[in-house]
Amino acid sequence: MSAIDKELDNMVAIITGAGGGIGEALAYELGRCGARVVLGDLTSPEELAVKLRALGIECRACVLDVTDAASIAAVVEAEERVDILVNNAGIMQPKIADHHEQDASLLPRMLDVHVGGASLMASAVLPGMSQRGSGRIINIGSVIGHVGLQRRTAYSVAKSAIGGLTRGLALEYGRRGITVNTVSPGYTLTEPLRRKMAEGTLDYALFAERSAVGRWADPTEIARVVRFLAEPSSGFITGADWLVDGGYAINGNPGESLGPLSKP
Ligand SMILES: NC(=O)c1ccc[n+]([C@@H]2O[C@H](COP(=O)([O-])OP(=O)(O)OC[C@H]3O[C@@H](n4cnc5c(N)ncnc54)[C@H](O)[C@@H]3O)[C@@H](O)[C@H]2O)c1
């Protein structure tokens, strides 16, 4: 690895939801840049940890439920320091349906995992970061926090609220050397979504068509932006929302084709 790849040397990064598609890409990206990565998920991502260690990346896999303060404390307190927190854990709506047909518990559940989880995680690492006078928190939002999406309103509400959390924390902790940003991915090709496409229950072209680049993202393209924001030299970027959506949200006329699709 070249010197430029070691921007995160001696840093500890916690990645929530690390067992999934974007989380896994985050683990490789932060790890390859020198960070010791702590991989948290509802089921401990042991297999991923084995693959990372084989590449010389220092890591720890653990069970982590971001909605449970005791689970969070166990993970955070096992580390001497946490320099980087990536709040990536998330859930999709179990049912795509009109809002009035959704279970009343859906919205609170979406908020609990996406916003409550990110908030609890941040509260657990902020005292140590404040004491050391440095830290990076990156919250994974979504393009759906920027545009509406019918029949997935609860998800959209939760992802929009992440922006509020990011901005408030950025203001509160900026003078303690801590930056807080949102990265909002567009449609990203993760394993569960690839499977849905293969089954024919998800239409790749429908969402690729609207984007300027004519394709979905690879998870590594999201991870690179997170890594950039995590670097010590990114200290002047805070409270921002980085839309990494291939130009999806800017399209004011999705009905008009922009030309042939690109290769994924
Ligand atoms: N894939 C996309 O197209 C896309 C687009 C925009 C935003 N996102 C966001 O990116 C993030 C990662 O998504 P992904 O596509 O990799 O999904 P994914 O389902 O593959 O990964 C999410 C991970 O979060 C974990 N998780 C769920 N609840 C948790 C909890 N309470 N505590 C700890 N972990 C928990 C899951 O077990 C899973 O491994 C999510 O926040 C998602 O909303 C994804």
At 157-176, the pLDDT tens digits run 999 999 999 999 999 999 99
Please indicate, yes or no, if residue 250 is contained in any of the structural domains.
no
Q: What integer is the mean pLDDT of 227-236?
A: 98
Please indicate, yes or no, if residue 259 is contained in any of the structural domains.
no
Please indicate, yes or no, if residue 198 is contained in any of the structural domains.
no
pLDDT of 5 reads 53
Rounded distance from Cα 92 to ligand 1 centre (Å)? 8
Please indicate, yes or no, if residue 201 is contained in any of the structural domains.
no
Q: 155, 173, 187, 248: which is the annotated catalytic residue?
A: 155
Residue 4 has pLDDT above 80, yes or no: no
Number of domains in the chain: 1
Please indicate, yes or no, if residue 84 is contained in any of the structural domains.
yes
Q: Which residues contact 233 (CB under 8 A, 6 or more apart)?
A: 7
Please indicate, yes or no, if residue 223 is contained in any of the structural domains.
yes
Q: What order of strands is seen across the sheet that includes strand 36-41?
A: 59-63, 36-41, 12-16, 84-87, 135-140, 178-185, 241-244
Active site residue 155: yes
CATH of the domain at 91: 3.40.50.720
Please indicate, yes or no, if residue 247 is contained in any of the structural domains.
no
Ligand 1: atom nearest CA of 91 is 27
CA 89 to chain centre: 7
**Which candidate, 194, 61, 173, places its Cα nearest to that of 125?**
173
Q: What integer is the mean pLDDT of 22-28?
A: 98
- Between CA 203 and CA 60 the distance in angstroms is 36
Cβ atoms of 183 and 140 closer than 8 Å: yes
What 3-state DSSP class applies to 98? coil
For atom 32 of ligand 1, the residue with the nearest CA is 65
For strand 178-185 and strand 36-41, is the pairing parallel, antiparallel, or unpaired?
unpaired
Residue 230 has pLDDT above 70, yes or no: yes
The residue segments making up the domain with residue 37 are: 7-187+216-241
pLDDT of 1 reads 47
Q: Which residues contact 117 (CB under 8 A, 6 or more apart)?
A: 16, 66, 67, 87, 89
Residue 180 has pLDDT above 80, yes or no: yes
Q: What integer is the mean pLDDT of 188-195?
A: 91
Please indicate, yes or no, if residue 221 is contained in any of the structural domains.
yes
